[in-house]
Structure formats: structure tokens, C-alpha cells
Structure 1
């Protein structure tokens, strides 16, 4: 089996539920009914950062109320028989509508999102810098789990949290 890191993956959000998606849902212990297809919508009052969904949604809540909804983005490369789930946050509008406000580096505008009411982030710190405890990507290649469900610490790499009042610079 080739090393998945050596593959040139072209993962995109699946357009429908298939056997690989079901296998991934089983790994996450989440029901198929939790799947929603969401479109990206750029916020009006700030510029969100890609790969910073949890803090983007907290900023959105500061501007417009609503709440943070945790779940997973599903991406698949059918050619390489690869699928993964990335822990993600979307904004819940005060009317209950879910909105993805985090731009994707690949420019994809629609995603398969799986609501996860079992897991959420925790605010933390790393050597005096704000951080979050989240989940690493769950990856399956050729039907074999190569990266299972595990907690990780994420330390923001930009000034975004300071620029939007989520942390105070020392």
C-alpha cells in the first residue's frame, strides 16, 4: 500500500452518501441523518481565515449572536480510494440556520458537514499563548483507518484572535 502522504490527493466534498462515507461515519460513531450539505457564505463584518473555523465562528458570534456548531467536513478522493473527516465549526444563525463561514484553501464552495453533538473544542493555552484542544483528521485509505479519532492541541499561527478581541496580546 502506498504511503498516503506520497499520493497526490484531489479530495473534494462528496456529492452524495456512499459506502466510504458510511464507513467514515461508523469510525466517528455518527448517524447518517447528521449529514447536511452547506454552502460557504462570506461574513460581512470581517475576513475569516481558512483553517481557522473555530475562531472564525467565535468572532461571528460576537458580531451577530448565534452559536457554534461542531462537526466534521468530509472530503474524498475516489481515484485513490481515500476519505477523511476534518473537525470543523459552523455558525448557527440566531434563526437556527447553519452557515459555513470559513473559506477553503481549495476554493470549494459546498461541503458535506456531519453534525457531531458528542465532541467540541476546549479552550486551552500553549506556553502562555491561547490554543484549542480539538480533533485530528480521521483518514481512511483503501478501507483501512490510517488516522483514527484523537485529540490534538492547535496553536493559532496568526494575529487573528488578537485582532478580533478573542485574546489579549502580552
Structure 2
């Protein structure tokens, strides 16, 4: 039975990777965890909201709105991915503290990725591609809406809150 389950998981992963853009075929560690996940496995053929985050930023309260978006639209296929980053010197010094801000203080249940660089030479492949398609984040809490084929259809800067009507309209347009 275990072999069948393992083979099924391998087949799902390989078929997801076949339909998934190369820039998403990344295994990334989850925030404050030793677990890794492949973006193609969790997000292939699904619309995405990708956000660079920080735990000690004036925009950190946006976690609450992002969680609301996740709760409201995940049933319609939207995958929300948060990428913790210290590129703007606003992240907690310890990953456990960043996780507490996300999971305890703001009740985040969407996928959060361990701290990584989101701009410049050292940026991870996901943010390199987002920057190539639109622009690199100028600060924390940039929001990228990505269609099912891996194309960025809209970028919103830090000032745009998750409850902004223009943002919500763009999310709904992405889903339908």
C-alpha cells in the first residue's frame, strides 16, 4: 500500500511539473519548518497570489487581509503564497519570531516560505521571474497575481491593501 501511495505522489509531482513553468518548479522550505514543498505540486494550473512579507513592517497588518483573501477565494482555486524576506531590514531576527507574527498574531493559514531574498542578484527564482515579467518589489507586501499559465497579470505595490476594491476585482477577474 505504501509503495502505491508513494508512486502516486511521484506521478502527481511529475505530471504537475510537466505543465508547470520552470520558474515555479522550485522546492522551497516552509516558514519555521524543515518541510519543503514544490510550487508546481501545490500550485500548477492554479491562479496565484504571491506576496513578499516582513514581520516588523508598517504593512505587516496586511497579513490579516491576505488571510481573508485566502479564506474567501481558496475554494475557487486561488493559492496564496507568502515569501518572508529581510531585503528591506524589516524581518524578525529569528525565524521562530517571524512565524509567531504570521501564525499566532495574524492567524495565517496560507503557505508561508522561509526567509529568502526577493530582489537583486540573490533573489530566489520565483521573484526573479516576477521582476522580469513586471517589477521587483520596492518594499514589503508587494502583491503579484499570476494566472494558471504562470503569467503575471497584475502587480500591486505595498500601499494597496488586500481589501482594496481594485485588488479584489483583479483577484476575481483572475479566478473567472
TM-score of the pair, normalised by structure 2: 0.32
TM-score of the pair, normalised by structure 1: 0.33
**More helix by proportion, 1 or 2?**
2
**More strand by proportion, 1 or 2?**
1
